[in-house]
Amino acid sequence: MRITFLSTPPNLSGGQRVIAIYAQRLAARGHQVEIVCSRRRPPSIVRSAKELLRGRGLPHWANSGQSHYDNYGVEFRIVKHNGRLVDRDIADGDIVIATWWETAEWASDLCPSKGAGVYFVQHYEVVISPRADDRCDATYRLPLKKLCVAQWLADLMRRRFSDAECIVVANAVDSAHFSVPVRERRSPLTVGMVYSSSAWKGSELLIEAIRLARKEIPHLSAVAFGCRAPNDRAVRCVFNEFYTSPPQRQIPEIYARCCAWLFGSRTEGFGLPILEAMACRTPVIGTPAGAAPELILKGGGLLVKPDDPIDMAHAIVRIASMPISEWQAMSAVALQTATSYTWDDAVDRFEAALHAAADGDWEPHYRSQVASNNCDKRADGFL
């Protein structure tokens, strides 16, 4: 098949990493795969003026810099014009995949010769684009076949947008890359986290939990990585070490140095760091966002109340105080959970869904689950 992914400008987001993985693996299976990216918007006049007044010069906005599309060596192309992707930007093919709400708008307007339209739903993106909530919601009603990364998203599509034909293809983890030897709980106790300035990622919740936990565990060490270090010096001082955009080969080492990985999102499409940390034998302490309940409640960590740093701190103390044998058992379950989600399986399901869309025989793979009511509640609160 000839498959085209429609993408926003290349970056280092988790969503684009998943796109890159699918593009790479589908190409390895013999498909013609291309990612077509929109051009980064130039900065506004107001922002440019502010940057000049601060002595920083004009803001950089060119389509350059590191991205997951570069990291995974996939074929991608950035169009030369501003604005939406249109027919002249896309080769005729079998499948065209929208990967963001704006790209869904574009996909719905393309000529049928570009391929059957599929909407790869990785989040309820109103949370990320609240100013465009009506437009975003409208894309979930478009006649595009939906592939969702988590059950809660399929539940949301069914309940709120009357689409019961979603296919759920959960994210996975590369167990060859995220692989470390059996280990004991290390001393001093170390916790880790991904830092983000986006409020919905809940980084401030995790930072406060670390501060509270240090009242009980003064020697508690904290490491973090992210695209950018915190601007606030007081926040930076919470971390014993911070890694800015570390190379992919280093990330498993960071996970493996921790006795617990902290996940504090208020909302999340899936929460890939949960699986990555678990694959490195690190239990996860997390809020009930994205796929966290399904993953953590299997026993490879502790699920805590949303937006509650005190509960998170209590969980850190519990991990610190549990017997070594209990921690090792939790670590083993974490590994077992992670290795049950493989990219080979995910690509099998993703590829089968694309064939179904191209052949016009899309079958609703949605199945109600016992947890559906809980998923609905999470979706209502965007948790």
Which phi and psi (to 5°) does residue 32 adopt?
A: -85, 115
Q: In which band, very low, low, confident or very high, does the pLDDT at 361 lie, cut at 50, 70 and 90?
A: confident
Asked whether residue 360 is domain-assigned, the answer is: yes
d(CA 29, CA 322): 46
Residues listed for the chain: 383
State residue 188's pLDDT score.
Answer: 86
Taking the alpha carbons of 57, 40, 25, 90 in that order, is the dihedral positive or negative?
Answer: negative
* 207 plus 131 within the same structural domain: no
Asked whether residue 177 is domain-assigned, the answer is: no
d(CA 66, CA 163): 37
Determine contact, residues 49/90, Cβ cutoff 8 Å.
Answer: no
d(CA 10, CA 16): 8
Give how far the C-alpha of residue 295 lies from the chain's centroid of Cα atoms, to the nearest Å.
14
**First and final CA of the chain: distance in angstroms?**
36
Question: Coil, strand, or helix at residue 198?
Answer: coil
Q: Residue type for 137, please?
A: D
Q: In which band, very low, low, confident or very high, does the pLDDT at 373 lie, cut at 50, 70 and 90?
A: very low
Question: Taking 70 as the threshold, does the pLDDT of residue 11 lie above it?
Answer: yes
Q: In which band, very low, low, confident or very high, does the pLDDT at 44 lie, cut at 50, 70 and 90?
A: low
Give how far the C-alpha of residue 159 lies from the chain's centroid of Cα atoms, to the nearest Å.
23
Kindly provide the b/e burial profile for residues 1-38, where b requires at least 16 CB atoms within 10 angstroms of the residue's own CB: bbbbbbbbebbbebbbbbbbbbbbbbbeeebebbbbbb
Domain count, the chain: 2
Question: Coil, strand, or helix at residue 232?
Answer: coil
* 123 plus 160 within the same structural domain: yes
d(CA 317, CA 209): 10
Asked whether residue 234 is domain-assigned, the answer is: yes
Catalogue the E-assigned strands of 136-176: 145-148, 167-168
Asked whether residue 185 is domain-assigned, the answer is: no
- Domain with 293 in it: 190-339
* 302 plus 314 within the same structural domain: yes
* 293 plus 196 within the same structural domain: yes
Largest Cα–Cα distance of the chain, in whole Å? 63
What mean pLDDT, rounded, does the chain reach? 90
Mean pLDDT (whole number) for 210-234: 94
Question: Taking 80 as the threshold, does the pLDDT of residue 271 lie above it?
Answer: yes
Mean pLDDT (whole number) for 247-261: 95
Task: Report the CATH number that the domain containing residue 84 is assigned in CATH.
Answer: 3.40.50.2000
Which tops the pLDDT comparison, 348 or 378? 348
* 90 plus 167 within the same structural domain: yes
State residue 51's pLDDT score.
Answer: 59
State residue 183's pLDDT score.
Answer: 87
* 249 plus 311 within the same structural domain: yes
Lowest mean per-residue pLDDT among 15-29, 94-108, 233-247, 276-290: 233-247
d(CA 257, CA 188): 10
d(CA 151, CA 130): 23
* 145 plus 37 within the same structural domain: yes
DSSP state letters, 16-55: HHHHHHHHHHHHHTT-EEEEEEPPPPPPPHHHHHHHHHTT
d(CA 47, CA 206): 31
pLDDT tens by residue, 142-163: 999 999 999 999 999 999 999 9
- With a CB cutoff of 8 Å and minimum separation 6, the contacts of 325 are none
State residue 40's pLDDT score.
Answer: 87
State residue 61's pLDDT score.
Answer: 45
* 298 plus 264 within the same structural domain: yes
Mean pLDDT (whole number) for 273-297: 96
Question: Taking 70 as the threshold, does the pLDDT of residue 372 lie above it?
Answer: no
Asked whether residue 183 is domain-assigned, the answer is: no
d(CA 117, CA 106): 10
Mean pLDDT (whole number) for 364-380: 41
Asked whether residue 180 is domain-assigned, the answer is: no
- Segment (H or E) for 171: none
Question: Could you tell me what percent of the chain has a pLDDT over 90?
Answer: 79
Q: In which band, very low, low, confident or very high, does the pLDDT at 370 lie, cut at 50, 70 and 90?
A: very low
Question: Taking 80 as the threshold, does the pLDDT of residue 69 lie above it?
Answer: yes
State residue 57's pLDDT score.
Answer: 57
Q: In which band, very low, low, confident or very high, does the pLDDT at 365 lie, cut at 50, 70 and 90?
A: low
Question: Could you tell me what percent of the chain has a pLDDT over 70?
Answer: 89
Asked whether residue 179 is domain-assigned, the answer is: no
* 133 plus 9 within the same structural domain: yes
Asked whether residue 182 is domain-assigned, the answer is: no
* 113 plus 50 within the same structural domain: yes
Determine contact, residues 69/110, Cβ cutoff 8 Å.
Answer: no
Question: 232: left (phi > 0), else alpha (psi -120 to 50), else beta?
Answer: beta
